[in-house]
Structures are given as structure tokens and as C-alpha cells.
Structure 1
Amino acid sequence: MAPTTQQQLHIPDLLSILNIQSDTNPYEDVVRPETEKWVSSYGIFTGTSWDKFLASDVPRFSSRTFSYADRDKLRDCTDFCLLMFALDDITDDEDQKEGTLTGQACIRTMQSDGPLLSSSPGERMIKDYRARFFKSTGPVLQRRLLKDWEATFNAFPKELEVRESKEVLSIEEYTLIRRDNCALRMGFTHIEYALGIELPDEVYQNPVFNEMYLAALDMAWLLNDVYSYGKEHAKGQATWNYLTCVMHEKSIDLQTAADYSGIKFRELYDRFIDGKSRLPSWGKPLDSDVAVFLEGLGIWLAGTLRWCFEMPRYFGPRYEDVRFTYLVDLGVFEG
């Protein structure tokens, strides 16, 4: 792997690859104060840490990725997104031992339908959200959420292990773990929730649908890795990043790895689009449900990409400049 000595990184324009519109949800301004008050009530963040958390503008992320949701479902989906971002920020600086304990506590809290015995604010948030989600959904989505929640937090300690050991995984190894620990499967389950549908297991077990689902999943975490590289590099955490794996495995420099990621993103998008013509028919109304879910995946991708340039979480205070230049400084991150 060539050493990272360059001062700037030209990131690929991934949004131009997608021919997908992404609007904001008309209920964003109504939901925003409610959902931020919900998080604030648990006292997880205070002072400057709360200001920094708000600066990520998670309600805008939810507004763009669930632009079609009604008011109540947007509120629930935004609460879920804020919960996951909060847990991500809480564990960001934990070591492997601490992160493993946090992950086990998160799994235990979500899996249990009994009373919460812990006073941890994070666990109380999880229990609150679980109760609301289970009240509004059927067994299919409930089972899917529980399964993916467990997979996410079981995979999380591996990321911390890699960060501590500075081990660089192969692209294949990294991809398999990243699909779980990115929490995006749970986000995709909320697409079904926001649309008011529940796709049966037979749809997920179809090889063409699964290929399209994994293509969307890989695009979602890939764009996150590429656009957050500058921040992770500045924090000394870039070992756990797709670009690092590509540099190491292919013996190329950072810019070439970023260019490669753009090519990979296009390949995944082409695979996603190609699958639409090969999907079988399940009859009415399931065909319609599958179609709107796949449309929801596209909206998620386009919405996430637009949101990345609307706040400083990944690019620091110069995020508006990056939106036009696609040049990321690799110096000290000032987010």
C-alpha cells in the first residue's frame, strides 16, 4: 500500500451516477423539534457535544431518505436515525473491550421484551424506540429488525479490533463485515415501515432481489466510506475504510483508490438497475410493494448523497465548497 502523503483527495461525484431525484419531507420542520427534544431528554450529550451532534443534522438525513413518509412515520424513522447516530458517536472513541460491552448491552436491551433494569440513557432510548416500533408493525418487520440489530452489534467489535491492531482486511473480508456493522439493513427495514408494507421472506430469498438489495447496501456503505475518509484519516481511524483496503490489496495510492471506488459504485448501480428487468412476478399487490421498496432504496442513496454536502459531519466547515469542488483536505479535521 502506498503511503498517504497527499494533502487533498478528489472524491468521485457519486450523485451524478444516480438518475434519481431526492426531495425533503414536507413534515421535516414539524418533526425536527420533537425528535431532537426526545434525544435531549435522555441527557446523552451536553454542551459542545450536543451542539456537535445537532450539527450533523440527522433530521435532514431522515427527511431526505424518507421523503415519502407521513408525519407519524417520519417521526419514528427520524427517532431511529437519531438513535443510531447517537450510538455511533458514543462508541466512536471506545476501545474493543468497551465497544464489545456496549454492543452486548444494545443487543440485550433490544431483544428483551421485559422491563429495563439498566439506568443507561442509551439503553432507555433503545427500549423506548423498540416499544413504539413493535406497537406499529407486524411480526415480519419485528423479526427482521431484531435479526439485523443483533448482526450489527455483533459485528461492531471487529471494527474496533481493526482500529486498534491497524490490521488491513482484504476487500472481501471487509465487505462481508461492513454489510452487517453499518446498520443499513435496519435502515432499509424502515423503508418498508415508512411505506406501510411488509415484504415476505420469499421476496428476500429470491436471488435477483437479493442481488439488487446487496448492490444497494454496498452502495450505501461505500459512499459513506469514501466521503468520510478525510475525517477518519484525521482521527487516525482510516484503517477501517474501504479505500484503505483497496490501497493495500491493489498496491495503489489513495487517489487511485478513490477513483476505483467511483467505478465500483457505478458497477453496483448498473447491477441494481439490471436486476429490475429480471425480477419475477409475485402477483398483485406484492409486485407493487416490491417496486416501491426498490424505489425507496434509490431514494435512500440519492438522499444520503445530498445530505452529505448539507452539513459538516464528513467535510468539516468547508462542506459547501466540497459540494462544488469535490476536493477534501486531508489535514486536521475541524468538524
Structure 2
Amino acid sequence: MRPSTSQFTIPDILSICPLEDATNPWYKEAAAESRAWVNSYNVFTDRKRAFFIQGSNELLCSHVYAYAGYEEFRTTCDFVNLLFVLDEISDDQSGADARITGDAFVNAMRYPNWDDGSILAKMTHEFRERFVRLAGPNNVRRFADLSEQYTDCVAREAELRERGEVLSLDEFIPLRRNNSAVLLCYSLVEYILGIDLPDEVFEHPDFADAYWAACDFVCWSNDVYSYDMEQSKGHTGNNVVTVLMLERGLSLQEASEYIGQQCQSQMQQFVLAKARLSSSNLPADAIRYIDALGYWMIGNLVWSFETTRYFGADHLRVKETRIVYLRPCDMILADDSDCSDSGSDSE
């Protein structure tokens, strides 16, 4: 769905986020090593390599995992870069092919001896080896389960893209929670902190309130920030902006304002639930985990304006004015993007 307007104003989400941003001291060294690791596989065309560099994945990790030690931080960079590779592969695939690709990722994540000879399997095995060295058994199991949920939802996203179908909001929210990979990225928090939470912690009402508020806050804010980039590629179906415009008959500006209101509610839910945790009977590690999710909530916002990924060369101007001028077909991607009305993008 392409908008009928040429510009819109994004909500002032930074001003409603009381959390403190930070960056990881190991960023430069670990980022260079992780990027070299990905590039050693030569998986990108020149065009996609340019988009990979533009994405600044390691800088995102620096903000959202600011507290990680060197080894743990390097592993998070490897994972987010691996997700980029997986996303770029599946983004060009049919639903059936995306499921095959997803199965390869999940099998390589679950089984250390599984191998189909693909580069994706080799990269996944190398990440897994780093991850399981320090992660606890509950964390490893949940991570594998979330990997399967993620790839299932990515494949479903591809099937929706093929049919030009946009889900209702109630259907979209659980899909977005998983195909965004936010829950997988949250799962790395246990690995970084050296904790291994029992499953019942995630079922505690106050913990769950904070956990899902943190997830939705990142997903919804990311969707309104990334909307211009996605519409310039013809990929708007997997975005809450489009869902709201279609389901509720909102204009682009009205959808943006609604998302701002929802992000404010999600932030309030997170802060209140986190406060209640201090008087709960949950272990201290559960509170440490929720505290760490706050770095994701503020860090993703700050990073979005530090890079050209979403707003191009205008990223600093957009941060100041919040006015986004919609772009035509992205020139970097023009050779295989038709700017059609259907499609999706997972980030």
C-alpha cells in the first residue's frame, strides 16, 4: 500500500522514553571482527553488501548490549549479522523456499552435527558454538524454540507477500513479535548476564507485562521509523503503519500519531511492571533481565537516527524536525525492486 501523501511527521518517541542510553566499550574492535567474519563468506552481491554496511548492525548491538563483555558482545554482533544474512536470503524467496531456508537455520541451531553443506548452516554452527559455550540449558532450549518461531513467521510473511495480503491488527501483533527477531535478541540477554531463568519466570504476570511491553515498544517504534525505507522498496505489508491504515481507515499521519500514543502506553506499562518486580518473589536475575531490556528500548531509538538505514542522508534532519519526505524507489535496490503495493520487510 503506497501512501497518497509525500511526507509525514513521525512521533516524538525519544521524549517519552525515560531510559538512559549507553554504548559498549568493545564496539570498534568486536564490530570489525564480526564484519570480517560475515564478509569472509562472500554471501552478498555488491548491492546487498552496500545495504549491509548501511545497516550498521554492530552499532545497534553497541547500544542495546552496552553492558556486555568483549566475548559476549562479539557473539551478539555475529548473531545480528547472521540474522541480516538470513533476512536477505528469505526476503527474495517464495513462502515455500523461505521455509526451507528457515529449516536449515533451525536445524543448524538445534543440532551441532546437522549439515546440508550450505553457507548458512556453517555460519549458524559457528555462532551456536560461541553461544552454547556460556549459555545455560534453559536459555539454549528457549533460543532454539524462538528460532523456530522466528523462521515460521518469516515464512508466513513471505506467503502473505506473495498473496499481497495484509493481516488484521490482532493477527499482525503476534506475527510481528516473532518475525522481527526481537524475542531472539532478548534471549541473548541471559547469555550476556550469565543467568539461566526457569520458564516460570516468563509466566509471572509482572515479568510478562514488562517483557511484552518492551517487545511491542521496539516493534512499533521500529515500524514507524522504517516505513519510508520499506515503502521505497515496495515492502509495506509487514508494518503496523500499513495495518492501521487499512484496518482503521487512518491516513499515514494519523497512523503515525496513533503509534506514538501506543508507544507511550507501552513505555508506561514497562516502567510500572518493572517497579512491581522489586516487590515480587522473583529472583534478582529476573529483575536484571528486565533492566537489560530497557537498553533495547532506548538503544534502538538512538541508533535509528545515528545511521542512514531508515532515513538515508536526512537522518539528522529527521531527528531534529521529525518530518519524513517519502522517497521514490531506493536507488541502491532499484535493480530488483518494483515498488509494488505488496511486500514486507522484517526490520
**Under TM normalisation by the shorter chain, which class is it?**
over 0.9
Between the aligned partners of 1:192 and 1:98, the Cα distance in structure 2 is 32
Q: Indicate the RMSD between aligned Cα atoms, in angstroms.
A: 1.7
Relative distance call for 1:26 and 1:321 in structure 2 (3 A) is same
State the shift of 1:252 in Å: 1.4
**Alignment-derived partner of residue 38 in structure 2:** 39
**Alignment-derived partner of residue 75 in structure 1:** 74
State the shift of 1:331 in Å: 2.2
**Alignment-derived partner of residue 52 in structure 1:** 51
**Alignment-derived partner of residue 208 in structure 1:** 206
Give a deviation string over 1:28-72, Cα, whole Å, max 9, x none.
111121111111111112434323311211111111111011111
2:34–2:77: 8 Å Cα contact kept in structure 1?
yes
Q: Percent identity?
A: 35
State the shift of 1:108 in Å: 2.0
State the shift of 1:276 in Å: 2.5
**Alignment-derived partner of residue 320 in structure 2:** 324
| Structure 1 length-normalised TM | 0.94
**Alignment-derived partner of residue 294 in structure 1:** 290
The answer to whether 1:306 aligns with 2:302 is yes
- Which deviates further from its counterpart, 46-55 or 193-202? 46-55
Between the aligned partners of 2:232 and 2:174, the Cα distance in structure 1 is 25
**Alignment-derived partner of residue 193 in structure 2:** 195
Give a deviation string over 1:67-86, Cα, whole Å, max 9, x none.
01111111111111111122
Relative distance call for 1:48 and 1:165 in structure 2 (3 A) is closer
**Alignment-derived partner of residue 168 in structure 1:** 166
Matched letter for residue 118 of structure 2:
S
SS at match of 1:278: helix
Between the aligned partners of 2:92 and 2:8, the Cα distance in structure 1 is 25
**Alignment-derived partner of residue 94 in structure 2:** 95
State the shift of 1:24 in Å: 1.0
Between the aligned partners of 1:194 and 1:327, the Cα distance in structure 2 is 37
Give unmatched runs, 5+ long, in structure 2.
333-347
SS at match of 2:60: helix
**Alignment-derived partner of residue 274 in structure 2:** 276
1:43–1:121: 8 Å Cα contact kept in structure 2?
no
Give a deviation string over 1:236-274, Cα, whole Å, max 9, x none.
111221011111121111110010000011111111111
Give a deviation string over 1:67-106, Cα, whole Å, max 9, x none.
0111111111111111112211222222223212211222
Residues 199-278 of structure 1: matches in 2 within 5 Å? Answer: 199-278=197-276
SS at match of 1:4: coil
State the shift of 1:21 in Å: 1.1
Give a deviation string over 1:97-143, Cα, whole Å, max 9, x none.
32122112222222222142x23212211111112211221201101
Matched letter for residue 37 of structure 1:
A
Aligned residues: 330
| Structure 2 length-normalised TM | 0.91
State the shift of 1:155 in Å: 1.2
SS at match of 1:5: coil
1:12–1:259: 8 Å Cα contact kept in structure 2?
yes
- Which deviates further from its counterpart, 79-88 or 106-115? 106-115
Matched letter for residue 38 of structure 1:
W
1:222–1:265: 8 Å Cα contact kept in structure 2?
yes
2:72–2:192: 8 Å Cα contact kept in structure 1?
yes
Between the aligned partners of 2:331 and 2:320, the Cα distance in structure 1 is 19
- Which deviates further from its counterpart, 322-331 or 12-21? 322-331
Relative distance call for 1:171 and 1:303 in structure 2 (3 A) is same
Between the aligned partners of 1:292 and 1:245, the Cα distance in structure 2 is 34
**Alignment-derived partner of residue 6 in structure 1:** 5
Between the aligned partners of 2:159 and 2:6, the Cα distance in structure 1 is 28
Relative distance call for 1:164 and 1:115 in structure 2 (3 A) is closer
Between the aligned partners of 1:225 and 1:202, the Cα distance in structure 2 is 31
State the shift of 1:334 in Å: 4.6
Give unmatched runs, 5+ long, in structure 1.
none
